[in-house]
Structure 1
Amino acid sequence: MKICIINGPNLNLLGRRETSIYGSKSFELFLPELKDAFPELELEYFQSNHEGQIIDKLHETGFSGYKGIVLNAGGYTHTSVAIADAVAAIEAPVVEVHISNIFGREEFRKSSLLAKHCKGSISGFGLESYRLALHYFLSLKPRKLGFGAHK
């Protein structure tokens, strides 16, 4: 199952930027942990500080056989109608993630233009927010009927 993780602006600075909010680990160090924890998923990672590149990546992955997208649009979450429109337009389901609890921060961060177009939103669990999103996509995987299986 192919899943694309897309990170937006300033997330290339994880581990160095406001560590009291975003933690001390870079995403480049965290990604191998995700790949080890989810060997059944084919994870692709993309990061850009540019709105148009994020939109292009959503278009590329949203129609090309990916079973899901984990999107942390960073500050664009609160401002980008264009990214929200891209999420609404694509076929692949999107889970919105945030490292910090956006509802416990500044007023402008408490709204998401993307949320209504996403399957769900996860925030406030640090980098574990990504792991929770991947668990959601795994839950969609068809299972054999039996003890504990979902019908």
Structure 2
Amino acid sequence: MLGIGISIIAALDHAPLAQRQFLFLGTLLGALVLDYAKPFTISFVIPGMRQMWGLSAVSASYLPIAGLSGTMVGSVLWGFAADRIGRRATLLWTVGMFSAAALCGLTLQYWQSLVACLVMGLGVGGEAPIVFTLAAE
């Protein structure tokens, strides 16, 4: 309790947001928007990949499925990791994972793209719950 009968938590809850907090929030949300745009842009690339690698429609559909499956699994796994090792460390790991998987445009074979999409999904799935939690705080 502070000397005037207000707890520190209550004082922080009623304090206005500083400019650096708005900058931090904007950076987090901007990164999240960019990260979520990546899995959807693959739909524009799939026709070229099908032609280049001679993929059937079914084989090509596994690429976005891998990304979305990774997102689902990553959100659960990285959520538990954030509770264990902290949000900051987990956020850094997920951003690093997503950034490494963003090199999927350099893959030369179908299976490499499939793995890159899965890893990208794991990173994006882990980033979203952490960003939303940090934004809520």
Scaled by the length of structure 2, the TM-score of the pair is 0.31
Structure with more relative contact order (C-alpha pairs < 8 Å, separation 6 or more): 2
Scaled by the length of structure 1, the TM-score of the pair is 0.29
Which structure shows the higher helix fraction?
2
Which structure shows the higher strand fraction?
1
